Each structure stands twice: as structure tokens, then as C-alpha cells.
Structure 1
């Protein structure tokens, strides 16, 4: 997902959807291990998760039956809260008004505001609150596209590296947004999210790629990354073509090595720059808008004539026919 800079609709780092498939795989593998006849999940009948769990269970263990009480009984959040109250349970019912799914790659937040097109989540709905003031410099080291260090500290455990970045960035309440997209079942859906670490990581990684990959490497990576994210989001992780996408994305990362500098501020961050031995801007062939050493002025004139030749011919023919 870092290799592909995956953002659903250019916004959402598919925080929940990317985790559901692996949760489903772990559940069904354990169910097979203990010889279970049934598995269950608590998804409603109105979202994507029901598809992700059902599809994975059916593919990997079609002989195991699936129980879905929340979907079958059409249990709403309001009904569940009232049921608990009526039966004497004590809980933070105010907090229960929001559906919060927290994981390694971000947190999704759903509530009454996300059911409308003209409202946004209140500040208190976000689990991570602004606690930092001023500015802070964050550095992320990448080696072949993978996180290798945070603020100069080396990490071999990539999960711990992600958690370290999240711990630093979340204090500034960055990475918040509203995602609006088309669900697998064909209806529009809206959800809030906070993903401080993932958003900083993805954008830092993408910036490093801008410096270390060619134009066409970036272009085709964007296409494959978008498709990969779409298939993953829509419960197609087990589709064989996903292995081809992964192989392609991994092959693009050989030169994506270097350090990215980020400035964190309350509610936003700035990608300052990069330092990489593979930085294509640091070549001896020229500086954009200043000087060049790879070709002469006459070369530039000839290149411009050839580049514009097809357009020039088309324009001349159009002009001739308009005059006639």
C-alpha cells in the first residue's frame, strides 16, 4: 500500500478495508484449525464489510456456515444502545453514537453526521486530539520503498516504524478528512477518518518517488496503484491479478531510497524536501529554469520544431480548409 501510494478516490488510505481481508483470513484459518462448523461476524447489511467477510469465508472455507445476526435481524446502532440501557448496562453511550474502527493504518469514524451530505464530524468525535503546539521536524528514511528509519532511529520492524510515526504525527491532529465513495453494493457511502501516520507516510513516499523515478515510471505506478487499491477495497485481495500488481509495484522501488523531511504543525504538515543518492534533480545535466549541460541551444531549437511538427501540420490543414 505504501509502494502504490494507495488512496481511495485520492483521499482515503483504505484504513479499515485493507485490514478486514486479513482479519477474515485469520478468522477462517483458525475456524478450520479447530474444526468449527460456523463463523460469525457483526457487519450490517448496508456496508462493505459484510462482503469482505462473506466473500473471504466462502472462498477459503465454503463448507463452513456464516452467522450474521446484526444483518439478519436488521439491528441499528440506536436499537442496540436502547437495548443496553433498558437492560441496565452502564457504558459511555455518547461515545457509542459513533462507529469507530481503529487499526494500524488509521481510524474510520461514522456517525449521524456522516449520513448527511452537508455535515462534518465534530472535533470531539476524533479519537486523537490536538495536544502539540508549534512546529516539529519529522524525518522518514526509506530503503527500496520501505520505511527504514524515523528521526534518525533505525527500524527493522515496519509495524513499529508505522506506530512511531503515528505517535508523533497524531499529536498534531493531521491526516483527518471525509471520504465519499461508491460502496461495493452500489450505494454512495460517507465516512470520516483520521490517519496521521499513514497520510504522512504515503505523501512522504510519493514525494521521494517524484525525485527518484522517471515520468513514465510514476505514471504507470499511479495506474497500477489505483487499481490495486480499488480491488483491495472491494474485497478482491484473493483475485490472482493482485499478485501481478504487487510484483510490479515492488519492482518499481529499487531506487526509492532516501530521507524525507516533514514539518508538522497543528492540523497540517509540510513536505519540505528529500535527500537521496538517486535524486534525479541532483544530476549534472542541468537545473530547471537555470542552466543545462546535456544539450546546446541549437539542439533545443531542433527538438522544439520536431516536437511540434504534427500539431503544426494539423493547424496548417485546418487553416487552409477554413479559408477555402
Structure 2
């Protein structure tokens, strides 16, 4: 999922699972309260609150940052005053680093006509020579990276991040609609997710039918929107998951990716399920499963509805006056 065609919902997806883990632990130790540090102006407060309320309505939620309306500047000055030692330049940004990318918010992201400077990104570009990366998928999930097999999918993602991060890949600025109704803007770097999503999409194009791709994209976008907007516990999410899992049964093969500073190129795929390998024809070259007359008849029938429409409209149209 790329929210608004841009953002791989890095933080939003992880917040839900953080909330689930927190409330499970709170219940296991018999806690009366849980606390989080979200402000009143973002999405995370809803993700935490909603999950806590549904799974443990008896536990009180404490939110001092939100309730006291504390600003980042106030917090920095408070820390300085009380002798806290830190890189306060970095504290000017809210940096959320996770498995599926790192978001960077603050300063320039608060203005529509500015972008993050190079130094604001946690990872700097150090790799300058191009290299080839291969990702093997089985049933839509990563199976191997550069020929090395991974049973642990998390470790596979981390390995890809290790390889692509020095190229400073996956940087962009996301502008989206928050759960609370205001527009939000955040910078991010998500090298591994962007490469993985691109490679996975390429393999799907080769192994899924037209309508599988269409409905996978429709339901995937809905799933991503619901996940982003704290609706993970909505039962329809389990229904969508069943479809998404089923759609991946033939998404198996290797994707070749070339890495360059700040960009990557999807070279191609190798798959036993590649639908281009059919015996019916080669696009733009030769047909093997039909004749020229078959295509002529097919096209004539295909155009019937449009022919009728245009014939009727032309008969009823009057010349427009100058």
C-alpha cells in the first residue's frame, strides 16, 4: 500500500501493533492506567486511544502532552533547563524509526512550500557504485535476498534495508488527510519498503490476471486506509486479508533490481508463473492462439455498443450556432 500513491504507511501500521502489545501487557500485569505522549493534533492519539478503549475499556488512558497542550519548543527548553544533554538540533524534528520506514516531521514539513534538508534525514548517501539486488518471493512473501534464504521475514526486510539504505533510497514528502480532518505533511525515508513494494508489484504484473490486479489494488487501498485510520480491529479487515492472501498464491519468483544513488530500476522478473510465457502469442510480434479473421470479428463485435451510441447521437445532434 502506498497511501496517496506515496507513503508506505510506515508509522501508522506500526502504531496499531504497538498499541496491541501495550494493552496486552497492561492487562497481564493488572495495570489501572496506560499513558502515551501523543499531541492533540495528530493521528497517533486516535490509534492508541481507540485500540485501548476497545480492548480494555476499564483501563484509564493518561495523556499529559495532549492535555497540557505542550509544544515541542516548550519541551526542549524544559529539558535544557533541567540539565538534559542531547542533540537538540535533532530534537527539532519528530523522528519515528521502524521496520517499515522512518518518518521525519517538524520545521520544514509544517510549511507547504518547504522540504527537508539533506541533514534532516537519519541516513546519508554513502554508496555511489551501482549494484544488482535480487529478491525472491514465494506466495507474495520474501523468501530470499541476493540468493540467501530467509525464514524470518523481518530479518529479510532488515537485510534489504541494510543493502539499499546507503543509496538514500525511498525519500519523499507525504501530504495526506489525517483522521481528525486536517491536512498533514511529513517527510520519510523508506528504502527497503519502496524497493520491496516496487519489486512485488512488478512480479504481480507478470503473475496475476488483469482482474486480480484490479481488485487486489482496490481492496489493498481500502485495507491501507483502514489500517492508517485506526480501523485494524474492524472485522472486515479479516475478510479483506483472506482475499489478499488468496491473491498471492502464484506471486512466486525472482525480481531483479538495479540500485543507484537516490533511485532504483526494476529490471525484470524470473518466474514459473509468468503469464508472458504463454503459448498464445508474443505482444506486438506474432499471435499463436487466434487468426487474423478472429481478431477482425472480435473487434467488430467489441465496437457494437459504441457504434450504436455514436450513430444515434449523430442523428440527434443539431449543428451548433457560431
TM-score range, shorter chain: over 0.9
2:63 pairs with 62, 68, 71, which one? 68
Q: Tell me what 1:185 maps to.
A: 180
- In the TM superposition, residue 79 of structure 1 has moved relative to its aligned partner by 0.5
CA distance in 1, matches of 2:26, 2:316: 74
Q: What root-mean-square deviation, in Å, do the aligned CA atoms of Structure 1 and Structure 2 show?
A: 0.8
- In the TM superposition, residue 198 of structure 1 has moved relative to its aligned partner by 0.5
Higher relative contact order (CA 8 A, sep 6+): 1
CA distance in 1, matches of 2:198, 2:82: 48
Q: Tell me what 1:51 maps to.
A: 46
**Is 1:312–2:296 an aligned residue pair?**
no
2:240 pairs with 204, 220, 245, which one? 245
Q: Tell me what 1:153 maps to.
A: 148
Number of aligned residues = 319
CA distance in 1, matches of 2:167, 2:83: 39
- In the TM superposition, residue 284 of structure 1 has moved relative to its aligned partner by 1.2
CA distance in 2, matches of 1:323, 1:165: 63
- In the TM superposition, residue 88 of structure 1 has moved relative to its aligned partner by 2.0
CA distance in 2, matches of 1:201, 1:257: 14
**Is 1:321–2:300 an aligned residue pair?**
no
Q: Tell me what 2:78 maps to.
A: 83
SS of the residue aligned with 2:128? coil
CA distance in 2, matches of 1:87, 1:255: 59
Correspondences of 1:12-31 after superposition (within 5 Å) = 12-31=7-26
**Is 1:208–2:203 an aligned residue pair?**
yes
- In the TM superposition, residue 323 of structure 1 has moved relative to its aligned partner by 6.2
For normalisation by structure 2, the TM-score amounts to 0.98
**Is 1:276–2:275 an aligned residue pair?**
no
Q: Tell me what 2:135 maps to.
A: 140
Q: Tell me what 2:168 maps to.
A: 173
Q: Tell me what 1:296 maps to.
A: 291
Q: Tell me what 1:3 maps to.
A: none
1:265 pairs with 260, 268, 284, which one? 260
**Is 1:107–2:102 an aligned residue pair?**
yes
CA distance in 2, matches of 1:141, 1:94: 41
Moved over 4 A (4+): none
CA distance in 2, matches of 1:120, 1:282: 45
Q: Tell me what 2:115 maps to.
A: 120
CA distance in 2, matches of 1:307, 1:57: 55
Flag structure 1 segments of 5+ consecutive residues without an equivalent: 1-5
SS of the residue aligned with 1:306? helix
CA distance in 2, matches of 1:195, 1:84: 30
- In the TM superposition, residue 322 of structure 1 has moved relative to its aligned partner by 2.5
Task: After superposition, give the CA deviation of every residue in 1:141-165 in whole Å (9 maximum; x if it has no partner).
Answer: 0001010000000111000000000
SS of the residue aligned with 2:46? helix
CA distance in 2, matches of 1:122, 1:283: 49
